[in-house]
Chains A and B, each alone.
Chain A
């Protein structure tokens, strides 16, 4: 079918073009009939003659009197004579034939050339029609994720009591990054099928993601219910620990993390995140995972094993080098953010504030960069310098979102083809049309989450090439890559 359709299209296009060319060629080649000639030559005369008749009719009907009729006749007759003289004078000179040739060439060559040229430039001849009904009834393997979701949605709109349907749809929403809809679907599923550890946990996760990574009271309730069902479940405990940290209950959070890590498989994907959180709460280890060029997960793990003094020294040295470089050569907003964060972690609040001032001075004219810096400052509880925009809501998902991704990993649910297909489409589009830094970051993140480290690295390379001369965008992409533990240099 897919080959036949364009063929028909081209045939019809050819027919249309031929008809258009003929509409020019045929009248040009035809000898005009003589009566047409008279119409052209003496049309005015005919009009005036008819006007004379009209005067007679008006007179007959009594609409005008004799006198007016006579006056009208005289006037029309005068115009008739003038028109007649004009027609006499009209020349009947022989016509040259080259304009006709020109017209014929235009019809045969010029017209198709212009029409096809323009169409090939702006048209999409290979795209078939895609009426919604046909797309809806296509076999599932030919349909996009969105299409399948739409079908399920339609089904659920008609059968809202189908708990299995909601249960299937909810995780798909999560993957499509629609946490709010996912939470709604989980609530339906729980209402119809009853609570389970997985459903409660996933509901809590959806609520948390929808709430920008902050564990709300509702979400916490869901996690607690999940723990009630299974005390050993890792994922809800992870989130509870996170919630405690967010609430500022430092000691309880530390206890929760330690409890969680106690009998964890050290190779599990969430472990580094948990350790990082624990370290952050401890106040002695910098949360390096989200840094730019700098220690990766291994080094960070190593740092965690060092003694507190050694660690501080290592960090202080790194920070010093970074500060020197930024002061002398400048740097990306992400680098400044990293410096500010490092100072804060090291307890050097004044230095942090000073670095913030310098950074905001350096990016005074760049609202996007300012937003990024302001966000960091806000997170760290620093006073925002004057003129600095409040943190931008549309910034890339912060570290919390990252932890979410790691947490989602614990689920150990196998990734299905849906997500892979989506990522593939995104990659296609970005490769062919390009995209925003945020979209590139999403792709890199998606590859990482799918465990395709090489692809992620390649996408990072492409993105950096695309934004080579845009330091703000580059910084944003690098930040993402750094957070994901990719090589960023």
Chain B
């Protein structure tokens, strides 16, 4: 009964979404309050109904109700409770349900908390959100129903893909989805603004927290996915330019651009049309990511062609939403009033620069991801676009962008003074030069780019620190008063500084881990040792071991540093018996910010093993930086103030002190 109740709740959501799609937006266009008034309660109810569905499916998983096809296909009774729950979204149908749950959750939030949004904007936004909801619930009911039943259920389920039996991968999709789907609300706001033909201050004010929230979760989701790939795939890499990764990275790039252009719009009423376009692009890229991952088109274009029902359905949704919103944009954008003017050298100008490079980078990733697919469909040729392509296109775009990061916050609004900005950053620049020299001294001149990269990273970090330092006037008013000013700094100022600092940290991690990594790949017999950096890794022998649902070959290693034993590491190669699926369990030893990484290859008859040993200096900074970036985003959300960008007046007389930009 619970299962069927969940099923009905989903159907009812679909019906409600149809009503919500039409009535409130109609009311908004007619100026009829009573029609608009249904939007908030219906959006909240839709969330509750999908929650009922999701809980019902979860209960079916927890109780191993194999009369539900989805449970039977993706679970089994002996699975630990945690993986029964995470198994709910570890499959196609369940993950689409989670997707829709987050979609209606955001709709419900706007319905519940959106009392201070103008009624027509709120009603229209919720209608647009309901279009997406209706499309995706229909998709589920028609092609991927998680509540399909079996009258005579089998005794045991088919199990869960063992690679998903990992806490990292279990937590990563919800985070990613909150990010992906969170951009839907920005999209709905943008489309609503186009329909109503009005973009006002309230619009920008409302879009900012949603964008930030989605961005924070997407950042965390991508970081976690990257760390998971790092320790589970056993290749020692942390980013593979894999299409699935790119699918989440493209909305992140566009979302980061949106975040910055929304600041301009909120504070200076400028870049409105562009911001709306970015909002549409960002969610379109999220939809594209969903399509790529969910249609199976990535696994094989041909597998997609043989069972096209799902893929074609999402493709149609994709075309409807992206094509529809872009057409609407082409038609309505000229109606929107352009906002404030600004000089090229100004805070706005810096943010436009940021937007240009981020969107260009997103385009590069887009081409690299979709070109092989398009080529396969058109000519049948299989090519793989990998790291070399992205290193040549993406990396050069990032360098000027990263160089410019510290300049943005120190430029004044409307018209800035580049020379003054440079003066304020000379300290940061000095520290960066020192960092380059230090790196050269430490690692030598073999790789010229690496010290420059490290310098770039330190430049960004020092730039954000100096931003805070100058804002509290540490050197002008003394530490004690500066401390009180520090406390008074708005959350968004902290957010900017912390997030930019995080970018620097991540860049530093990337540079050191890729340029100064040491690796040994060799066949080791028991008793043999390899020396790497300051570690001596001894292979003590291997032994088979049996886990609850797998068997594995475990290699025992002892790590010594300076003759002193520091750790024992046990990497293994597992075979999950139910699906005959091998996985690699690497062993990682974190020492300081660096890591020693051990992964097994072939196990030979004579007891020897192919072993890969990596020393990755400062590698943890890559993910640590992402966490700091997300934390910066949170700080900025927590800032409940209205933000005003005080424009710098045209210079009539010489200013004694440097202009103080406000947040």
Contact = CB atoms under 8 A, between A and B. Distances in A.
B430 interface: no
A127 B149 contact: yes
B2 interface: yes
A293 to B, nearest CB: 36
B660 A65 contact: yes
Nearest to A127: B149
B649 A71 contact: yes
Contact of A123 (B11, B65, B662): B11
B246 interface: no
Contacts of B645: 72
Count chain A CB atoms within 10 A of each CB in B2, B15, B118, B145 and give the residue with the most: B15
A412 interface: no
A40 B119 contact: yes
A125 B11 CA distance: 13
B11 A79 contact: no
Contact of B4 (A106, A115, A124): A124
Contact of A28 (B2, B14, B16, B37): B37
A207 to B, nearest CB: 23
Interface string B556-585: 000000000000000000000000000000
A40 B202 contact: no
Interface string B51-77: 000000000100111110000000001
B116 interface: yes
Interface string A263-291: 00000000000000000000000000000
Interface residues of B, number: 79
A223 B18 CA distance: 70
A30 B649 contact: no
A308 interface: no
A62 B23 contact: no
A107 interface: yes
Which secondary structure dominates where chain A touches chain B? helix
Contacts of A23: 16, 38, 41-42, 45
A68 B8 contact: no
Contact of B65 (A28, A114, A132, A150): A132
A13 B8 contact: yes
B80 interface: no
B12 interface: yes
Given A20-B12, A127-B67, A130-B66, A32 B37 contact: yes
B488 A83 contact: no
Interface stretch (B26-34, B95-103, B352-360, B502-510): B26-34
Contacts of A146: 154-155
A9 B5 contact: yes
A20 B16 contact: yes
B644 A55 contact: yes
A378 B463 CA distance: 79
A259 interface: no
Nearest to A55: B644
Contacts of A111: 12, 15-16, 19
Contact of A132 (B42, B66, B151): B66
Contacts of A128: 1
Contacts of B14: 114-115, 118
Nearest to B120: A40
B398 interface: no
Contacts of B18: 114
A218 interface: no
Given A9-B4, A20-B12, A131 B63 contact: yes
B37 A27 contact: yes
Contacts of B153: 130, 135
A61 B488 contact: yes
Given A130-B66, A131-B65, A36 B119 contact: yes
Interface in A31-64: 32, 36-37, 39-41, 43-44, 46-48, 50-51, 54-55, 58, 61-64
A90 B1 CA distance: 51
B308 interface: no
Interface stretch (A95-103, A185-193, A315-323): A95-103
Contacts of A132: 63-66, 77, 155
A57 to B, nearest CB: 8
B1 A129 contact: yes
Contact of B12 (A16, A28, A41, A55): A16
B408 interface: no
B421 to A, nearest CB: 16
B260 interface: no
A67 B651 CA distance: 10
B13 to A, nearest CB: 9
Contacts of A32: 33-34, 37
A386 interface: no
Nearest to A62: B485
B647 interface: yes
A64 B646 contact: yes
Contacts of B151: 124, 127
Nearest to A83: B200
B116 A43 contact: yes
A74 to B, nearest CB: 9
Contacts of B663: 63
Nearest to A100: B34
A90 B151 CA distance: 60
Contacts of A26: 41
A58 B156 CA distance: 65
B19 A149 contact: no
Contact of B149 (A47, A83, A124, A135): A124
Contacts of A19: 45
Nearest to A28: B34
A144 B7 contact: no
A103 B35 contact: yes
Interface in B630-646: 641-646
Contacts of B168: none
B498 interface: no
A24 B18 CA distance: 12
B644 A51 contact: yes
B81 interface: no
A68 B34 contact: no
A75 interface: yes
A65 B649 CA distance: 11
Interface in A364-396: none
Nearest to B337: A82
Given A30-B34, A127-B67, 15 more contacts: A24-B19, A26-B41, A28-B37, A40-B118, A43-B202, A47-B201, A65-B660, A83-B200, A111-B19, A115-B8, A122-B7, A123-B147, A127-B151, A135-B153, A150-B155
Interface of A: 5-6, 8-9, 12-13, 16-17, 19-20, 23-24, 26-30, 32, 36-37, 39-41, 43-44, 46-48, 50-51, 54-55, 58, 61-65, 67-72, 75-76, 79, 83, 90-91, 93, 95, 99-100, 103, 106-107, 110-111, 114-115, 118-119, 122-125, 127-135, 144, 146-147, 149-150, 425
28 contacts: A20-B49, A23-B45, A24-B19, A27-B37, A39-B116, A39-B118, A47-B202, A55-B646, A61-B485, A68-B646, A68-B660, A70-B649, A71-B647, A71-B648, A79-B201, A93-B31, A106-B19, A111-B16, A123-B4, A128-B1, A129-B3, A129-B67, A130-B153, A131-B65, A132-B77, A132-B155, A146-B155, A150-B156
8 smallest beta-carbon distances between A and B, as pairs: A131-B63, A72-B646, A40-B119, A132-B64, A27-B37, A150-B155, A115-B15, A43-B118
